[in-house]
A and B are shown apart, each in its own frame.
Chain A
Amino acid sequence: MENQPKKQQVPRQKMPEQDPKQRRHNFNEVPLGFSEETAKLEASRCLQCKKPQCVAGCPVEVNIPAFIGLIKKGDYAGAANKIKETNALPAVCGRVCPQEDQCEKNCILTKKGESVGIGRLERFAADYARCHGEISLPQLPPPTGKKVAVVGSGPAGLTCAGDLAKMGHSVTLFEALHLPGGVLVYGIPEFRLPKAIVASEVDYLLKIGVKLEVDCIVGRTRTVDDLFEDGYSAIFLGVGAGLPKFMNIPGENLLGVYSANEYLTRINLMKAYQFPEADTPIIKGKNVIVVGGGNVAMDSVRNALRLGAEKACIVYRRSLEEMPARKEEVHHAEQEGVQFDLLCNPTRVIGNDKGFVSGIEIQKMELGAPDASGRRSPVPIKGSEYVIPADTVVMSLGTNAQPLIAATTKNLGLNKWGYIIADENTGATSKPGVYAGGDIVTGSATVILAMGAGKKAARAMNEYLKTI
């Protein structure tokens, strides 16, 4: 009994971070990770609940108390392997999951103060195992002889491919771009998720027998029906987000106006920040406006600083409270000197005589009654327009459905926005043998939700494969 109150006295351990003044000029990772001592201390805060609510909050069902228990004992590699049993991408999840809305939200300590730093511990264990080469490969069952195609190598596809391989199926992962990882490589910046980590997670899949084909655009290079003809018995579609949304205001095609997808792809996937050493160029604006309030907007605006912007500003039509971005991301952006123009909405983009952006006209907004999303809706204030100067504008307003699969696959049910209709529990689509999950089903969501969908689909596909 003496132990109990002592445990409570250990505060939630802080994550060391790169100094904001320094990091706004480099692409290195911002949080630096726990030391072994800090990790043990943080792990000691876990109450090892008999009925752990945290696990219920995890879309991929990580046995959280078990892995934290292993960290407490100093068995870090064991902890990593424990996570890996159900989560194909622990080093990724430990960094980009919104834990505050999932496992940590359910942690019993949250009610008493601050939750256990589950995400930080997950990251610690995964990093430890990776850096010490201590990721053990699982015992694979005998091959089933069934060929499965996983289309898209983002979080949904990687998870699905890993799980299916562990069930003994022969899995091929098809990627349209030249590198695997999907949004993990083209979207999420290096300073939030180093690309070497994604490469190592993919490498693990290759080691357990997953085959990878890059430069293969399913819908063009091969269709879904071609894959069936080529002997694949089941297909998972995790093709992710599609074309970016724009505002439909004048001036959006001026030079220097980017979609967040393009801006991030140039920087993250194509390494435009290393131009001219890397061939892909990007406009390194001094005065950058990012329109939107999601995580992608935060990623864009923080990249802008790192490209050398003197002023990088978020323009968002609601207030900080309604902002969909994670609090931690907003906080990091603020620390780095990002400005926030809230309750503001662009009405047009203004250009110079050469066709480049020179400014943006903003209209002030006020909050009205809650809308369908439950958030108070922004209402324009008439006559409040003013112009702010800008040489780069990034539109971060979400995406539409990826169009290629839908256009080239027969009998695949879509909803009115073009997203694939898939069963919530199994990922099954209207086309037999075809499963889907991630952003192509839900629209823009999170890495972990996509992973959860990939996991459920793998389970259902395994059952399906037994029947044929």
Chain B
Amino acid sequence: MYKILFKKTLAQSIHLMRIEAPQIARKRKAGQFVILRLHDRGERVPLTMTTSDAKEGSISIVFQEVGKTSMELAKMKQGDSILDVAGPLGNPTHIEKIGTVVCIGGGLGVAPVYPIAVAMKEAGNKVISIIGARTKDLLIMEKEMRAASDELLVSTDDGSYGFFGFVSQVLQGLIDKKTPINQVVTIGPVPMMKAVCEVARPHNISTMVSLNPIMVDGTGMCGVCRVTIGGQMKFGCVDGPEFDGFKVDFAELSKRLRSYIEQEKISLDKFKCTQCAAM
């Protein structure tokens, strides 16, 4: 059992939880994730970690309520326990001093980009971060990102805060201003990561993306997280989750993420029903 030590709502339907998991906290590096299972009928879901505290023996996750399991998790309170938390999974982000790194997070993706920005900065890089959300109220971790970066740029799709548009357009702006960029790291919704790659590609700026395919075991056994990278089959859990963005087949990833769209709706409707009945 893994105790929830702290819970905070960062934006509408986006929450941060600090969970007691000393062994994972001891090992976690930027770019890695955990698999959670809430209870004995629960599914195994991968969630990225944003920070960890080896001293306290805790990890922090940030998640958004989108389906049954995430809504159920959101209902859990400080002091409650999660049945299973396994990790840290996936390869850590490759961190080295290369010059200027642009860290781009969209929506929930800001949370996993944050530890990468911190690590890149610690390695001696100049870090320019771009974070974005649909609207101002959904923007998360601005303060943390500002502290981790030499420069922070913000955009919202509706123009309610910062630049009126997408994070990819902000990157385009940096490139247009001839800002020297050695590396781009981007995490967010699939269309956003794809858009960022398309902006960087003509200028041949190495762009790393972190993929979020469906997983079951997460340890290199089941193979559901397969993605196509440069025409080759790779597995998100053990070969990734980070890949060279220019080589990713994003269209296939988008499709595969919709494998269970019908079942997810059934599960969610059933959950909402039981919630109503309980009230």
Contact = CB atoms under 8 A, between A and B. Distances in A.
A275 B23 contact: no
B266 interface: yes
Contacts of B41: 271, 274, 277-279
Interface in B216-264: 216-217, 219-224, 226, 228, 233, 235, 238, 252, 255-256, 258-260, 263-264
B31 interface: no
Interface in B31-68: 37, 41-44, 68
Nearest to A263: B222
B23 to A, nearest CB: 5
Nearest to B239: A403
Contacts of A278: 41, 43
B86 interface: yes
A409 to B, nearest CB: 15
Contacts of B204: none
B263 A259 contact: no
Contact of A265 (B42, B68, B221): B221
Contacts of A178: 37, 44, 83-84, 86
B216 A280 contact: yes
Nearest to B259: A255
B89 to A, nearest CB: 6
B87 interface: yes
B186 interface: no
B201 interface: no
Interface residues of B, number: 41
B69 interface: yes
A259 B226 CA distance: 10
The dominant DSSP class at the A interface is loop
Nearest to A255: B259
Interface string A264-298: 01100011001111111111000000000000000
Contacts of A221: 23-24, 27, 86-88
Contacts of B267: 275-276, 279, 281
Contacts of B86: 176-178, 215-217, 221
A244 B69 CA distance: 27
Contact of B260 (A246, A274, A281): A281
B270 interface: yes
Given A253-B256, A276-B266, A280-B216, A270 B43 contact: yes
Nearest to A245: B223
B209 interface: no
B43 to A, nearest CB: 4
A266 B84 contact: no
A215 B85 CA distance: 7
A263 to B, nearest CB: 9
Interface string A312-340: 00000000000000000000000000000
A244 B222 contact: yes
Centre residue among B88, B219, B263, B270 by max chain A CB count within 10 A: B219
Given A243-B223, A270-B44, A404-B238, 8 more contacts: A177-B217, A216-B23, A217-B219, A220-B87, A222-B23, A222-B27, A253-B252, A265-B216
Closest 6 CB pairs of A and B: A281-B263, A279-B43, A262-B222, A355-B255, A259-B223, A215-B86
